[in-house]
Amino acid sequence: MTKPDMVLGATVILGICLLLAGCDLGAVQAHYRAQTIVAGALTVGGEVVTEARTTALVRVEQANSFMPPEERIVALKIERANWEPVGAALDAARSALSTWETSTETAESAGADEDLLGILVRLASRVILLYDEAARLAATLGADLPPLPEVVTSLARSIGGGR
């Protein structure tokens, strides 16, 4: 990694850190309430998706029950593949919620933690990796998000922004 690449990566991470700073206690509590609502919606949504996927797979199995086993398996694989983007979207939403929760906890503890800058840098790294995950999801849906420079995602991984 060249020095200009490292400067670019560090600039992106610091920019995200600056965006994450500055919540008072009332705003933090509002975020916690919103996160509880979003977590509930994701849980219920996940259950609805699981039930719908199961129903669809049972329907495919029943519709192809007279077919040879190899053809039934192919039909089931096709139906499973149709549901993969939905699962990926739920996973991305859960990752986003987790990152949001971490950022709220960081804002709440601002000033109390000795290594706040380190926490903010790791959080910014998570945000970068979350964007990278969203870009991969968008690609499975036929949409293109502009990719982040490889140096930025490499730096984020090296900092430990993963979950």
**Of the candidates 36, 21, 5, the residue with the CA atom closest to the CA atom of residue 124:** 21
Q: Would you kindly state where each structural domain of the chain is located, as residue ranges?
A: 3-159
C-alpha–C-alpha distance, residues 2 and 156, integer Å:
16
Residue 35 has a CB neighbour count (10 Å cut-off) of 15
Specify whether the CB–CB gap between 83 and 53 falls below 8 A.
Answer: yes
C-alpha–C-alpha distance, residues 88 and 137, integer Å:
6
Model pTM score: 0.62
* Tens digits of pLDDT across the chain (163 residues): 444 455 445 555 555 554 455 455 577 778 888 888 888 888 888 888 899 999 999 999 999 999 999 999 999 999 999 998 888 888 888 888 888 888 787 777 765 655 667 777 777 888 888 887 788 777 777 778 788 888 888 888 888 655 4
Q: How far is CA 83 from the centre of its chain?
A: 17
